[in-house]
Structure 1
Amino acid sequence: MQTLKNNWAVAAHGLEKIVPVAEGNLTIVAGVSLEINSGQSVAITGVSGSGKTTLLSLLAGLDTPTAGKVTLAGQTISAMNEDERAQVRLQHVGFVFQAFHLLPHLNALENVMLPLELAGKPHPRKRSLDMLKRVGLKERSTHFPTHLSGGEQQRVALARAFAVEPSILFADEPTGNLDGGNSEAVAQLLFSLNQEHDTTLVLVTHDMELAHRCEKTYTMSNGLLESKAALL
Structure 2
Amino acid sequence: MIEVSNISKQVKTTEGTLTILDGINLSLSAGESLAIVGPSGSGKSTLLGILAGLDLPSSGSVSLNGQDITAMDEEGRAAVRAKTVGFVFQSFHLLPGLTALENVALPLELQGDKEALKTAAYYLQRVGLEHRTTHYPRQLSGGEQQRVAVARAFACRPVILFADEPTGNLDTGTGEKINDLLFDLNKEEGTTLVLVTHEHNLAERCGQRLVIAAGRQVAPSTDVTHVTRGSTA
On whether the aligned pair clears a TM of 0.5, the verdict is: yes
Matched with 1:48 is 40
- Deviation, 1:116, is 1.2
2:195 partner letter: L
The alignment status of 1:124 with 2:116, answered yes or no, reads yes
Shift of 1:226: 2.9
The answer to whether the aligner puts 1:58 opposite 2:50 as a matched pair is yes
Aligned to 2:6: 14
Superposed CA offset, 1:123-180 (max 9, x none) = 1110000000111111111111111110000000000000011110101101111001
Match of 1:148 among 140, 145, 163: 140
The answer for the alignment partner of 1:97 in structure 2 is 89
> Residues 121 and 164 of structure 1 are in contact (CA less than 8 Å); yes or no, is this contact kept in structure 2?
no
CA distance in 1, matches of 2:217, 2:195: 14
- Counterpart of 2:86 in structure 1: which amino acid? G
Correspondence list, 1:66-77, <5 A: 66-77=58-69
What amino acid does structure 2 have at the position aligned with 1:121?
D
RMSD of aligned alpha carbons: 1.2
Give how far 1:122 is off: 4.4
- Give the length in aligned residue pairs: 221
Instruction: Report the Cα offset of residue 12 of structure 1.
Output: 1.1
TM-score by length of 2: 0.92
Letter of the aligned partner of 1:76 in structure 2? D
Distance change (3 Å), C-alpha of 1:126 and 1:181? same
1:111 aligns with 2:103: yes
CA distance in 2, matches of 1:153, 1:20: 37
TM-score by length of 1: 0.92
- Structure 1 residue ranges without an equivalent (≥5): 1-8
Alpha-carbon deviation of 1:76? Answer: 0.8
Quote the offset at 1:218 in angstroms. 1.3
Given candidates 9, 31, 46, the residue that maps to 1:39 is 31
